[in-house]
Structure 1
Amino acid sequence: MSKMILRASVALAALAPFPALAQDTGAQQATQVQQDDDVVGLNTIIVTAQRREETLQDAAIPINAIAGDQLVQAGVTDATALNKVAPALYVVAAGGANAGYFVRGVGNFSNNGYTNPAVAFNLDGVYIGRPSSTVASFLDVNRVEVLKGPQGTLYGRNATGGAVNVIPNIPRLGEFGAEVAAQYGSYDALELTGALNVPLADGLATRFAAAYSRNDGYYSDGTGSGEDLAFRAQVLAELTEDVTLRLSGDYSTQQGTGPGTNVQGVYAFTPFSPNATAGNFTFVPAPASVTAPFTGLFAPQTLDFIRNTAVGAPLYSPLTDYAYPFRDDSYWGINAELTADLGFAELTFIPAYRESRLDNQFNGPPFKGAVNQNVAEQTSFEARLTGDAGPVEWLVGGYYFDEHVEGLDSYNQFATVSFNDFATDTRSIAAFGRLVFSVTDDLRLVGGLRFTDERREIDAEVDTLAAVCLNRPTPGPPSCPLVPTIPVGLTVADSLGQLAPALFPVRSPFTGAPIVGSYPYGPIGPRGPYALVVVTPSDIERVAGDEEITYRAAVEYDVTPENLVYASFETGFRAGGFNLTFGQEEYAPEYIDAWTIGSKNNFFDNRLQLNLEGFYWKYEGQQLAALGVDGRGSNSFYTRNVGESTIKGAEIDFQALVTETTLLRGGVQYLDATYDSFAYNQIDLSAAGDPPNFLTPLTGCDFTQVLTPRRSFDIDCSGRPALNAPEWTVNLGVQQTLLLGGFELTGSVDGRYRSNRVVGFNYLPTSETGDDLTIDAAVTLRPDLGDWYVTAFVRNLTDEFVPAILQVGAGNVAAGSYEPPRRYGVRIGYDF
């Protein structure tokens, strides 16, 4: 009976899908249980976040980790689902291939060809400059590590908010094995995965992995669908007793529509209205048939509501003909890892090359349609030497990163369109080191230092098109209902070429000369043309660079062999960059100082693990990538330095083996993230002759009219909470294993609560989420000594309508994208 209880406990530990509990299944296999007759304990994961192998409980840094099989159990197949396994992490699926990463309110809503992410995404030890794809990343995963706070010494570029490390399973020498799994569920969701490990000779093995998944759209208009394919092949060779080489290559594609959009309502312009929702704008909520969960932008009732309620300034024509979204993106990469024991030190060398090709169309905030056609190529090299001399453990290394991105983008907001043709080059070189000095067997002092030298340049042509209504009845605003808005295209010629030539009765834009200047547009009335199309080109050629020294100082103390306390101070730096935005072409670096105190503890023969962390971060020149108004008055997505912020709080995570077959787990984070100084100036979009404070900015922040040297508004959002920063995040779960005559039945229930948070740019009432609680449940049956399993699951059991992004787009239409609804299904797997 004791052996059956022990086996049940092993299964229990292996299946627990929670970040505090993790298993490493590759060459770094950790002990699942502590065996002494019938004594069992919680498992331990081996992590390499500090460029050395150590247990998660011995890593004196703020980190969560979760093993690959637990990711599968929790339904984590891409980065957006990591939200449920690390309380500090928030991953947003933006339009097209864009994914935004936030740690404790620090991050980007999206990452395009010229933005710098605040949270570093690393795949197999390689920093990914454009983290738009996560399909191949989550193929045959060994573990995921989530590091919180600046990683200013050991990691590649710009890791001021934290880092996400995805580590795949590697080939196993001398071992043949394979695993396959099939999953089917609601929304016609199909997933097929497999991995094959083959020993080729003594000291030589290869591993192949593949995955295919698809699902119908979550929204009634068909959006929210996806179809993904991924492959990875690896070869591991022990060249000599002291030298090992591993080669890896992966390829993946992503198709479907990408995230869908649900409309909340419209902010209608109501000048001089003291009771307006925000400034001179009154929120007009959409009817219930439109706001119902997962209705979608392209539902007929949604399109009718927008057409009858919103108009697109400056053309003041109904908003029609939204472009339906699609994705057709591909990614591939090759990398190697060479390790050599040199006697006095161990050498690790990691060369890598990656390429992504994006071809997607999306609606975003919502726009009429945004189109991205980008190609990004990156090459990187990292070399490290590690060794020890008496009480000193040392590491020195060098890093080189070179990235080239070429892109054609257009962002169509019905009456204004930005067409971008750009090429960027970024080169980053760094040297880094770390010393760990053991004062005693229990007390260690840690110091780290990194020098970074980054150079970047951009060569871009930006064509801004504006359709301006000239027909202005008296009294009242302009009105051009008979003039169509601008079609979606990649270039000015693409868009205007879709219009009937009769719409340009005075001067045609297609004369063979560059399309520049003003063109009468639409019908000709008694007082002249109803509208103008104005095309304004801009050339942006910039070269810039930044140099910075960042460092870390820490102290670690083993109170007992099972209880660790630590304290650290670390600095971080994120380089500046460029925007394709008139008047906001460049932004400066940001800097962070971070204090951390923590404790990691095992109690009761490792039946209880309890980890505590307190943190205090200070940002200067903090960067925020958000939708705003450029110097010409057009909406634009760009990065700006918003000022200073303070981020402080505490996090607790635990797991407890209450009985040999009952596991409790949980995590709680309290977060106070506030912008201490967040102020900027925005051009006044009023027409000549309009009185002051007429066309006020659409914002929930304080603003003041400025009349000279030109009319504008000073906007002050100081004191507001950081974006994607809930005050409370609580994860709780329970898992129970039952022994049923040769079978093990394991059931788990996990819940996640997040308090209200701001997930829109302008602090409007519609940008707040409210509280939400989601619950996942699963039941797994497997034979006591067998190799197969069957899992039935339900995710988002309560069918919560959880916002991911809530923002205002063209025509002041308020809309958002949402986390997936309730889904259920069955997964069958077999290992051999």
Structure 2
Amino acid sequence: MTTPSPRIRKLGSPIQLAVLTLLAGLNSAYAQTTGVNATPEAPKEQQQAQKAAEASSTVIPEVYVTATKRSTSLQRTPVAVTAISAAALDDNHVQTIQDVVNLVPGFSATSQGDHGVITMTMRGIGNDSAKTEYADPEVAIFVDGIYSPRPEGATTLLFDLEGIEVLRGPQGTLWGRNSTVGAVNMQTAKPTLGSSSGYVEAGMGDYSRIGGRGAVNIPLSDKAAMRIAFVHEQHDGYVDYQAPPNIPLAQQQAAAAPVIAAWNAANPNNPIAFQPINTGLFVQGGKKYNAQDQTALRLSLLYEITPALHWNVAYERYQDRGTPGMNLMQNPRPGQDRWSALIDTAPSVKRDSNSVRSRVDWAINPDMALAYIAGWSSFNGSSTYDQDGGVLPPTSFTTGGKQQANNTVFSKYKNYSHEVELQSTGKKTVDWLLGLYYGHENNAIRFDIPIMNGTQQGTVNWQGSFIQPKQTVESKAVFGQTTWNVDDKLHLTAGARYTDDKRKNIGGTGSGWIGDASVPQIPLNPSVNPFAPGSGYKVDSYNSGSFSGSKATWLARASYDITPTSMLYASVSTGYKSGGLQDGGKPYGQETLTNYEVGSKSTFLNGMIRMNNALYYEKFKGFQFSAPVTNPDGSRSLSTYNAEGAKVYGFETEIAAKLTKADRLQFTGTYTHAELGQLIGGSNDYTLPPCPIVGITNCLDVTGNTMPHSPKWSTQLMYQHVFQLPAGTLTPRLSAHWESSSWLSVFNLGEPDRQKSYSKLDLGLRYDADKKWYVDLFVRNATDKDIKTSAQNPQEIWQAQYLPPRTIGFNAGYTF
């Protein structure tokens, strides 16, 4: 007897496949009659008991999220949200937002060297220039529901967290401005009444890595408790110093002779003479680039004023003394290693921030609750950075490559916010929430760019100082959202938010070198006052001005509980990012987004498998593109252009499975199509052709290009197995990430401007003893792949920022 071969059907388009997967998740759930057990996230010291309980169960623990500004089950929340527990953060050794991205579908993060910040892209939309006081991100960061407006907040160490929620799609109604394509909310671990508990952890690794963290919960009375948490992480830099150039003296003299002759002919009263290259100007020791040295401390207090009135307040101090990430040559010179560079500007970072976060919750009666959420933070920073990266070694003291440093002399940000929320509580036919918001920022920065010919001994090529002594942002909003629970299955939601934004630049200037040969040819440094007569500088742009704008954003959504363990939702929502001011005090327009989305959330096989899917289409208008440019008069500025828009569509799926009591698997997969609308873009970070448009020196028509950091396909697979031992458990873990190729800029400039498709493998092995101590070994980027996160070629030689090379280490801890 023969069995006929099955017919193989040709697969349809990505969207057709997405629809089939969406329906498959729903159909699988029809047969289910029981849900999963619901347990809220616990502090780290309580997770040992939870892990033991989970190890003896085939049910995936339920997770609660605050995506709708009230605590709801993840599987009953009609929003595309990824909830990452404290245990998952530990298992994946998450320290910064850049470590989170592989755990979330459609999420990516890019490191920026000169400012040492991380910029984020979600569902194909982001802004690599959201690293200054001028540009805002499309993905908003919140800590305990309080907005963190500046990108430096995204680099802060993530420690002692209850978990992280990543909301995909515009969240403008409940979460506010700049959450155009999504929001990230980090929930810190809170004090608990009547509990004396905590944990300590220490670890070591290669690159001289030393780390430590811990927390202790202290009961102060039957109505008050304190929690103290700390973290410190440090490791040496990954970038080795290359030896100074060894050029014969006669060769140096021959290279310099024409330049010296031309200079002396043009400046007979200020002649220059030949100098041998001073090899002492090249850095050979001290801290290396891509080093970490970060410390943070958090003090939290819970006070139960009355059984119905609770106050949580926290103070957090963060300090960074590491070094920036280096731009490395994509094709190293012969004999040089990938992770090395010819450095003539020593790296330095000094960043300090202080934050206070407060939340008061008052249960007015069984039907209504009031919350007041307030936050204040202050940031001070400075840094020095080798922007040229030694891609073109000097041929003499004043010829060859350009020596360029990007130095943040000072960077000061202060912000505070107030939010009041009044909402219904309990099970009601109509759930509602009303809110008021006020936020204020006061920013100041001085950013210097000295560019010398050859070496720091040479003549000035160009240099400028950008000083913004005061730039303010004021945002006010009123918002509300209501859900009509038509019956036990059908739920209809509508929400709206009205936001009013004001920006002011007071006294901002951009000053550039005027080429005065009588002024000493020395690199710009903090002691130089570019406004002083005879300094060699003049003001190229006066940036003072004001901007005001407003926007109403809204949400309409329907969700339907098909079975007790499956639901389907459909929504239309809008997002908004304010316009603002650029150099010269010129305004740029706002950015808006309309998102159409359908999704499903299903739990089946009696809680063994959880499957969540989302299918979306996003239409952008006024997409903001910011970049440093050279103007026709030779001056430089940071300019922002509004593209006609962008069209993005895609599909996301998340699957978690408890295959057996000992085996757990998680899978995420995404398809993304992100196409830019009409835009003529310029940037000094790339070698571009002359621009036919008046006002821009070099540019490129990027209309229809693929948005950067948006691979068409990406997947993440995590698997772990728990071995029961006589005195504990042994858990090996594997995390594999694969994604297709992606562009690194809007210019789509060929292979150097692209990260080719790649796979990345992380490994872990954890031993949990019955006596509350544990040891966790890890290998990150086990195959040591070179993975680019950004690229540039300002001197026609391609450079890139890379994810860290392979790192190995361990952590050991004890809970009590």
TM over 0.5: yes
Give the match for residue 200 of structure 1. 220
3-state DSSP class of the match of 2:679?
Answer: strand
Deviation at 1:731, TM superposition (A): 0.3
* Contact 2:56/2:661 (<8 A) preserved: no
Q: Tell me, in whole angstroms, the C-alpha distance in 1 between the residues paired with 2:216 and 2:155.
A: 19
3-state DSSP class of the match of 1:377?
Answer: strand
Deviation at 1:710, TM superposition (A): 8.2
* Contact 2:601/2:613 (<8 A) preserved: yes
The 5-angstrom pairing of residues 451-600 of structure 1 reads 451-466=498-513, 487-490=523-526, 492-493=528-529, 513=533, 515=535, 535-580=538-583, 582=584, 585-600=586-601
- Answering whether residue 105 of structure 2 is matched by residue 90 of structure 1, we say no
Residues 486 and 100 (structure 1), Cα distance of their counterparts in 2 relative to 1, 3 Å cut = farther
Q: Which amino acid aligns with 2:376?
A: Y
- Answering whether residue 297 of structure 2 is matched by residue 296 of structure 1, we say no
- Answering whether residue 122 of structure 2 is matched by residue 103 of structure 1, we say yes
Q: Tell me, in whole angstroms, the C-alpha distance in 2 between the residues paired with 1:136 and 1:37.
A: 33
Give the match for residue 808 of structure 2. 824
Residues 70 and 680 (structure 1), Cα distance of their counterparts in 2 relative to 1, 3 Å cut = closer
The 5-angstrom pairing of residues 371-386 of structure 1 reads 371-372=407-408, 373-386=410-423
- Answering whether residue 185 of structure 2 is matched by residue 165 of structure 1, we say yes
1:493-515: per-residue Cα shift (whole Å, max 9, x none)? Answer: 47xxxxxxxxxxxxxx9xx6364
The 5-angstrom pairing of residues 74-85 of structure 1 reads 74-85=92-103
Give the match for residue 232 of structure 1. 298
Deviation at 1:681, TM superposition (A): 7.4
Q: Which amino acid aligns with 1:698?
A: T
Give the match for residue 405 of structure 1. 443
Pick from 350, 368, 391 the counterpart of residue 404 of structure 2.
368
Q: Tell me, in whole angstroms, the C-alpha distance in 1 between the residues paired with 2:406 and 2:154.
A: 21
**Higher mean C-alpha deviation, range 253-262 or range 367-376:** 367-376
Pick from 744, 758, 764 the counterpart of residue 772 of structure 1.
758
- Answering whether residue 777 of structure 2 is matched by residue 792 of structure 1, we say yes
Give the match for residue 714 of structure 2. 729
Deviation at 1:491, TM superposition (A): 6.8
- Answering whether residue 438 of structure 2 is matched by residue 393 of structure 1, we say no
Q: Tell me, in whole angstroms, the C-alpha distance in 2 between the residues paired with 1:592 and 1:126.
A: 23
* Contact 1:260/1:297 (<8 A) preserved: no
* Contact 2:780/2:806 (<8 A) preserved: yes
Pick from 475, 482, 486 the counterpart of residue 439 of structure 1.
486
Give the match for residue 474 of structure 1. none
Q: Tell me, in whole angstroms, the C-alpha distance in 1 between the residues paired with 2:135 and 2:175.
A: 18
Pick from 242, 256, 261 the counterpart of residue 322 of structure 2.
256
**Higher mean C-alpha deviation, range 101-110 or range 448-457:** 101-110
* Contact 1:181/1:830 (<8 A) preserved: yes
3-state DSSP class of the match of 2:99?
Answer: helix
Give the match for residue 351 of structure 2. 329
* Contact 2:55/2:661 (<8 A) preserved: no
Q: Tell me, in whole angstroms, the C-alpha distance in 2 between the residues paired with 1:705 and 1:209.
A: 57
* Contact 2:58/2:659 (<8 A) preserved: no
The 5-angstrom pairing of residues 109-258 of structure 1 reads 109=128, 110-134=130-154, 138-221=158-241, 222-258=288-324
Residues 812 and 35 (structure 1), Cα distance of their counterparts in 2 relative to 1, 3 Å cut = closer
3-state DSSP class of the match of 2:90?
Answer: helix
Deviation at 1:794, TM superposition (A): 0.4
Pick from 88, 92, 109 the counterpart of residue 70 of structure 1.
88
RMSD: 2.9
* Contact 2:229/2:299 (<8 A) preserved: yes
**Higher mean C-alpha deviation, range 355-364 or range 187-196:** 355-364
Q: Tell me, in whole angstroms, the C-alpha distance in 2 between the residues paired with 1:469 and 1:717.
A: 38
3-state DSSP class of the match of 1:342?
Answer: strand
* Contact 2:678/2:704 (<8 A) preserved: yes
Give the match for residue 72 of structure 2. 54
- Answering whether residue 725 of structure 2 is matched by residue 740 of structure 1, we say yes
Q: Tell me, in whole angstroms, the C-alpha distance in 2 between the residues paired with 1:592 and 1:443.
A: 27
1:800-820: per-residue Cα shift (whole Å, max 9, x none)? Answer: 1111111123x3442111111
Deviation at 1:699, TM superposition (A): 3.4
Output the TM-score relative to the length of structure 2: 0.81
3-state DSSP class of the match of 1:175?
Answer: coil
Residues 710 and 374 (structure 1), Cα distance of their counterparts in 2 relative to 1, 3 Å cut = closer
Q: Tell me, in whole angstroms, the C-alpha distance in 1 between the residues paired with 2:704 and 2:629.
A: 19
Deviation at 1:396, TM superposition (A): 0.1
3-state DSSP class of the match of 2:153?
Answer: coil
Deviation at 1:390, TM superposition (A): 4.3
Q: Tell me, in whole angstroms, the C-alpha distance in 1 between the residues paired with 2:327 and 2:342.
A: 5
Q: Which amino acid aligns with 2:404?
A: K
Unaligned runs of 5+ in 2: 1-37, 242-287, 390-402, 453-460
Unaligned runs of 5+ in 1: 1-20, 265-284, 299-321, 471-482, 495-508, 517-533, 686-696
Deviation at 1:114, TM superposition (A): 2.5
1:161-181: per-residue Cα shift (whole Å, max 9, x none)? Answer: 211111100001111101000
Residues 779 and 466 (structure 1), Cα distance of their counterparts in 2 relative to 1, 3 Å cut = same
1:669-711: per-residue Cα shift (whole Å, max 9, x none)? Answer: 00000102222579xx9xxxxxxxxxxx9339xx8746xx789
Deviation at 1:27, TM superposition (A): 12
Deviation at 1:714, TM superposition (A): 6.8
Deviation at 1:747, TM superposition (A): 0.6
Give the match for residue 807 of structure 1. 792
Q: Tell me, in whole angstroms, the C-alpha distance in 1 between the residues paired with 2:332 and 2:547.
A: 46
Residues 334 and 107 (structure 1), Cα distance of their counterparts in 2 relative to 1, 3 Å cut = same
Give the match for residue 421 of structure 1. 467
* Contact 1:137/1:166 (<8 A) preserved: no
Q: Tell me, in whole angstroms, the C-alpha distance in 1 between the residues paired with 2:178 and 2:626.
A: 14
Residues 552 and 53 (structure 1), Cα distance of their counterparts in 2 relative to 1, 3 Å cut = same
Deviation at 1:444, TM superposition (A): 0.3
* Contact 2:706/2:748 (<8 A) preserved: no
Q: Tell me, in whole angstroms, the C-alpha distance in 2 between the residues paired with 1:234 and 1:185.
A: 30
Residues 705 and 405 (structure 1), Cα distance of their counterparts in 2 relative to 1, 3 Å cut = closer
Q: Which amino acid aligns with 1:338?
A: V
Q: Identity of paired residues, percent?
A: 25
Residues 27 and 238 (structure 1), Cα distance of their counterparts in 2 relative to 1, 3 Å cut = farther
Q: Tell me, in whole angstroms, the C-alpha distance in 1 between the residues paired with 2:767 and 2:611.
A: 30
Give the match for residue 20 of structure 2. none
3-state DSSP class of the match of 2:378?
Answer: strand
Q: Tell me, in whole angstroms, the C-alpha distance in 1 between the residues paired with 2:157 and 2:192.
A: 20
Deviation at 1:640, TM superposition (A): 2.1
**Higher mean C-alpha deviation, range 109-118 or range 374-383:** 109-118
* Contact 1:136/1:250 (<8 A) preserved: no
Q: Which amino acid aligns with 1:831?
A: T
3-state DSSP class of the match of 2:644?
Answer: strand
